A = this chain, B = another copy of it.
Amino acid sequence: MKITMLAYPGLTPLDLMGPLQVWSLWPDAEIQVVWKTTDPIMTDTGMAIVPTHSFEDSFDKPDILFAPGGTKATFELMADVTTMAFLKAKGANAQWITSVCTGALLLGSAGLLAGYKATTHWAAHANLEAFGAIATQGRYVIDRNRATGGGVTAGIDFGLALLAAIAGDELAKTVQLSLEYSPQPPFNSGTPEEASEETIQQVLARFATAIS
């Protein structure tokens, strides 16, 4: 199982780390984290990560292509010719085309979501339609060979669900127990449906600043 996970300067690293940690326990997986070069890239947390491979040295035909999200950096990357060409080329050969959070906007911009149901971070949901995607509510959405996760932390649920779809429930359950994934969020504030209006407005204001 050849897995190509995009990384880029400014990404939200938890988008990447959720499925990466899940899939690192998949015995059949060979995982590459790729960017234009293998120099360290800064994330939106202030800590850098190091891609394992450059675009050039990455798998010709990945079984899974994955794109993580972010804020301003992600919106800018949608206009980056090299990255869009890379996603388009790898997407043409991939068995699965996947994302977490606003990574879906990168797939969409590369023409990979037209006619497919997809999800993204709740605050960016409206952006999906511009790419001909069918914006769909869901912690993760699987439509044929497109699998997209919601915002940031959805990457863990998405990663386990895709693992189960490909390798079976038993392995996914073992990985879930290995990572002690029995979440207990301290508040009911993880979606706009649950959160207070004041909390929603604060997040939207932060998001508007972060993408401008």
User: Among the listed B183, B187, B191, which residue makes an inter-chain contact with A185, where contact means beta carbons less than 8 Å apart?
Assistant: B183
Count this chain's copies in the assembly: 2
* Interface contact B178-A206, CB-CB below 8 Å: yes
Q: Which of A18-26, A73-81, A84-92 is the contact stretch? A: A18-26
A179 touches B151 (CB 8 A): yes
Q: Nearest chain B CB to A64's CB is how many angstroms away?
A: 15
Contact present for B173 and A187 (CB under 8 Å)? yes
Structural contact, A174 and B203, CB atoms closer than 8 A? yes
List 5 additional contacts besides A172-B189, A176-B186; criterion CB under 8 Å. Answer: A14-B17, A21-B45, A24-B44, A31-B46, A173-B199
4 tightest CB-CB pairs across the interface, nearest first? A151-B180, A182-B190, A173-B189, A183-B183
